[in-house]
Amino acid sequence: MAQNNKGFGFGLGKMKELANAVQKAQQVQEDAKKLQEELEQMEIDGQAGGGMVTVTMSGNQEPKKVVISPEALEEGADVLSDLVFAAMADAYRNSTDTMRTRMESLTAGLNLPGM
């Protein structure tokens, strides 16, 4: 009687692929944890009005600080409000772009078999 080494439809090669994929996924998980810590520590700026207002956020989009130049104060409340809003939007965009790029590089090459 011939012995079937395929088990549950998985040949030895498929088992190695699966084991490699699991190992890769575990590494990605560890790297993702490190990345999360790095993102928390990052300071990413957004600006408006040619630098009259600067907003700084973390890589996780947590606000860190706002710097308003004396020239921006002279523009009046309405213009200043618009500048702060624009700088916040710019910082948010820069932060999310950074996070997305870092996550894409983290998961690049993660090919799970059967997925």
The answer to the question of residue 114 being in a domain is no
CATH code assigned at 82:
3.30.1310.10
- Looking at per-residue pLDDT, the higher value among 93 and 112 belongs to 93
Q: Containing domain of residue 69, as a range?
A: 12-107
Number of domains the chain is built from: 1
The answer to the question of residue 5 being in a domain is no
The answer to the question of residue 113 being in a domain is no
The answer to the question of residue 6 being in a domain is no
The answer to the question of residue 42 being in a domain is yes
pLDDT of residue 59: 93
Contact 52/99 with Cβ under 8 angstroms? Answer: no
The answer to the question of residue 20 being in a domain is yes
Contact 61/94 with Cβ under 8 angstroms? Answer: no
The answer to the question of residue 90 being in a domain is yes
pLDDT of residue 75: 94
pLDDT digits (tens, 9 = 90+) for 13-47: 677 888 887 888 788 788 889 999 999 999 999 99
- Looking at per-residue pLDDT, the higher value among 72 and 2 belongs to 72
Residue 114 has pLDDT above 60, yes or no: no
Per-residue pLDDT band for 8 (boundaries 50, 70, 90) equals low
pLDDT digits (tens, 9 = 90+) for 58-105: 999 999 999 999 999 999 999 999 999 999 999 999 999 999 998 888
The answer to the question of residue 69 being in a domain is yes
